[in-house]
Structure 1
């Protein structure tokens, strides 16, 4: 398979927005929040065009310090974004979120980049940045889900052990469903991209297995660590919410 991926012209790319316009038209017709949809699509367009130029610069870089700095930004940003569901003092949980994502995601990143694909140098940008992005993003989503669910269960009066178990199981539902559906319902993005670029489906499948393992591992480890680290603060936060509701 020696085919190269087809280049999409800007004119052809514009055709992809036809379904988007249809959805926005439905939102307008039904008097729903079309402005938010337009904002989201516009922001997506701007961000992806910008990130294309940024990644082109990063991939050409030979600086381990630059890549390390980008990884640090990823960890801090994901740790803060994950706490958007927290109803009490968000800053009080930031340290726990940071440690959970750093340790959980960082461990998986090291195993994958140094043990599986064996990057040389260790920071090889073309691999490190996309893999780190997938790992930390999934760890972030898992921490966010587990934080919201455990808070909800505690506010209903569940003992912490029960609330923890319910929240942990719930946080793994999205990635578990992905494991069950992969190859049957959909071809994941990384595998699809590799096949489109001419990589053998057998090799692409190996990479996708690696990806599914790393996002399952990072999601589960990060959410479990958050539940362990933030136990007392979660209980305290639930008590504060209950007191406020009683007033």
Structure 2
């Protein structure tokens, strides 16, 4: 196998959208929200193209302050998106969500980059930003699940502790399932990418173990911290 990935021609890249548009057609045929899916698809294209150009520029001349500011922006956007399912409480919960993602994701990112990988310099952008993206996105999903379920349980009349237990368990289901499936059903992103680029599967497996640990930990810490912060403001659920 080649030690480097070949560049995908644009005409070949277009082929990847054939199964995507089949799903879009199904959404429209079944009177589901096909327009929203098209919007999401368009955003994905624009965001990835823009981030490709931006990261290319960033890699060439990054410094610590730029990396810190970018991490803060990632936390802000992740927090805003996480509250998409409870839009009526988005602004009141934003600060709490940012704190949960910053603590859970930031702590995990620090342990991985400075303890496991020992980056030098500590803000080495080629490693820091991709890992931060994986961690904060995972925190976002976990907090989103826990927030939606937590306030749903409170609205049903459950007390704080019962709602917290149910919400935390629900938020961790995807990550626990991923632990069971990895290596048997799926080869996750980092391991697949490294193998495709020619890295030894044994080395790729070590990196994937690190990734699975950081995903599980960041999800659990962020979700738990969000629920702890929600204790004194549980009354907002009924508003």
With the shorter chain as reference, the TM-score category is over 0.9
Q: Does the 8 Å CA contact 1:88/1:237 hold for their aligned counterparts?
A: no
How far is the alpha carbon of 1:128 from its aligned partner? 0.2
Q: Does 1:94 align with 2:102?
A: no
Q: Which residue of 2 aligns with 1:143?
A: 143
Q: Which residue of 2 aligns with 1:182?
A: 182
Q: Which residue of 2 aligns with 1:243?
A: none
Q: List structure 1 runs of 4+ shifted beyond 4 angstroms.
A: none
5+ residue gaps, structure 1, are: 241-247
Structure 1 SS opposite 2:50 = helix
Q: Which residue of 2 aligns with 1:171?
A: 171
Q: Which residue of 1 aligns with 2:40?
A: 40
How far is the alpha carbon of 1:50 from its aligned partner? 1.4
Alpha-carbon distance in structure 1 between the residues aligned to 2:18 and 2:93:
42
Q: Which residue of 1 aligns with 2:192?
A: 192
Alpha-carbon distance in structure 2 between the residues aligned to 1:218 and 1:226:
12
Alpha-carbon distance in structure 2 between the residues aligned to 1:34 and 1:143:
26
TM-score by length of 1: 0.91
Inter-CA distance 17–89: structure 2 relative to 1 (3 Å threshold): closer
What is the number of residues matched between the two proteins? 239
Q: Which residue of 1 aligns with 2:217?
A: 217
Provide Cα deviations, 1:166-209, integer angstroms capped at 9, x if missing partner: 11111000111111101111110111111111111111111111
Inter-CA distance 7–96: structure 2 relative to 1 (3 Å threshold): same
Alpha-carbon distance in structure 2 between the residues aligned to 1:88 and 1:96:
15
Q: Which residue of 2 aligns with 1:130?
A: 130
Rg larger for: 1
Q: Does the 8 Å CA contact 1:191/1:208 hold for their aligned counterparts?
A: yes
- Computed over aligned residues only, the root mean square deviation of the Cα atoms, in angstroms, reads 1.6
5+ residue gaps, structure 2, are: none
Alpha-carbon distance in structure 2 between the residues aligned to 1:26 and 1:90:
32
TM-score by length of 2: 0.94
How far is the alpha carbon of 1:88 from its aligned partner? 4.3
Alpha-carbon distance in structure 1 between the residues aligned to 2:41 and 2:88:
31
1:1-40 → structure 2 map (5 Å cutoff): 3-40=3-40
How far is the alpha carbon of 1:60 from its aligned partner? 1.6
